[in-house]
Structures are given as structure tokens and as C-alpha cells.
Chains A and B, each alone.
Chain A
Amino acid sequence: DAKTTQPPSMDCAEGRAANLPCNHSTISGNEYVYWYRQIHSQGPQYIIHGLKNNETNEMASLIITEDRKSSTLILPHATLRDTAVYYCIVQIYNQGGKLIFGQGTELSVKP
């Protein structure tokens, strides 16, 4: 299983872009990178996912390096409500969508 490495915590000023890095050096060619976040005492919320190309949606942008060994989640204008634990997960191929969570990055957005 491709493991991910994320910094345990990060701070970001409100209104600024939050850039959350993730290393996944053992990722296989057909494995997707998924990002979720979890606000205290709630279920994880899907943010974005990608395979090779950069992706953008209404919540965030996902930048995947050309060798696919790392990625960055970008929240363009962080708000206080973006304070959460962010999980970068490499989905195991051909196992029904199973996701194995790592420790994630605790993002604190400060006023």
C-alpha cells in the first residue's frame, strides 16, 4: 500500500492561501490521490482527488508533481472554518474504493 507523509501541523493566516504538502513516493501508476478533511467530531469531508493532472474544484486545487511522488493541496483563501485535520490518501487500486487514513495535517487558520 502506498503510504503518505504529511507534516503533523501547519498554521495559515486567514485570507491567505494554505498549501498543504504530501509525499507519496511509492504510489503506483493507477492509484489516485485523495484529499479529505475532518472537522472535530464530524465525519471526513471529501475535498478533491486526482491521478496525474492538476485538478481544481470549488473547494481547492490539487497539484500533483510530474513523477507523482508528491502533491500539494491548495486552499486559495483560507477562512477560520477551514481549520481541520487534512488527510492525503493514496487509494488502493482495485479494492472497492478502500481508503487507509494516515495521521494527516492539523491546519490552524488564524485571524
Chain B
Amino acid sequence: GAVVSQHPSWVICKSGTSVKIECRSLDFQATTMFWYRQFPKQSLMLMATSNEGSKATYEQGVEKDKFLINHASLTLSTLTVTSAHPEDSSFYICSASGGGASYNSPLHFGNGTRLTVT
């Protein structure tokens, strides 16, 4: 089945530094990937849609200059949290569709990255 890999699985960084999270589709090509964020005891919140070769589309209220998304190839999207602060501490999850992001193709999710900003 379609496998999405995220790296790192957890990271601790100091306030003010930047952190990059990678999302890879291992056995399929993904023109579209999605980035979510999840706070404790809450549901997943969609942050942005990552499109290969073009700019990401951000959901309302998500700062595009703070959460930089790059989707340079059909198998890799990266999310960089810039100038991280403690309130950015969260569980970040990416997903991709093995069916070309059609409406009849399930998204497959990575196992998430736990970010802790001290």
C-alpha cells in the first residue's frame, strides 16, 4: 500500500530557531500533499495544501511566512517552522494521495512529527 514517511518523528528546538520537517511518499508520486497540525486532545487542523512545482495554498489564519512549505519533487514536501516559539509546539502530520489527489482516492498519512519548542 501507499506509504508516507515523515522525518523526524520528534524534535526539540530552542525558541527563535527554525525547524524543517520532511514528508516523503515512498512508493508513489504525489503532486499534492497536505500539512496538518494537531494540539493535544484536539482534532487535526489543515494548515496548507502543498503543490509540486508551485506555491502552497494556506488555510485561513495560517501564516505563510512562518510555515514555509516547499514541494520540489513528486515525492518530497517540506514544512519549515521559522522562528519557532513555544506556542508552535504541536504534532505536525503530512498526507498525500497515491491516486493523484482525486476525489476517489484516499489520503495516506505520515506518522507525524512531535515538535517541542523550549
Contact = CB atoms under 8 A, between A and B. Distances in A.
B112 A43 contact: yes
B91 A41 contact: yes
Given A87-B43, A97-B32, A44 B114 contact: no
Interface residues of A, number: 27
A111 B105 CA distance: 35
Contacts of B97: 96-97
B9 to A, nearest CB: 10
A91 B97 CA distance: 13
Interface in A34-69: 34, 36, 38, 41-46, 49, 51
Contacts of B67: none
A97 B102 CA distance: 6
Contacts of A96: 32, 49, 51, 97, 101
Interface residues of B, number: 29
B103 A30 contact: yes
A96 B4 CA distance: 17
A44 B112 CA distance: 9
Interface of B: 4, 6, 32, 34, 36, 43-46, 49, 51, 91, 93, 95, 97, 99, 101-112, 114
Interface of A: 30-32, 34, 36, 38, 41-46, 49, 51, 87, 91, 93-94, 96-104
26 contacts: A30-B103, A31-B103, A34-B106, A38-B44, A41-B112, A43-B95, A43-B109, A43-B112, A44-B44, A44-B109, A91-B103, A96-B32, A96-B51, A97-B32, A97-B34, A97-B97, A97-B99, A97-B102, A97-B103, A98-B46, A98-B49, A100-B46, A101-B36, A101-B46, A102-B43, A103-B43
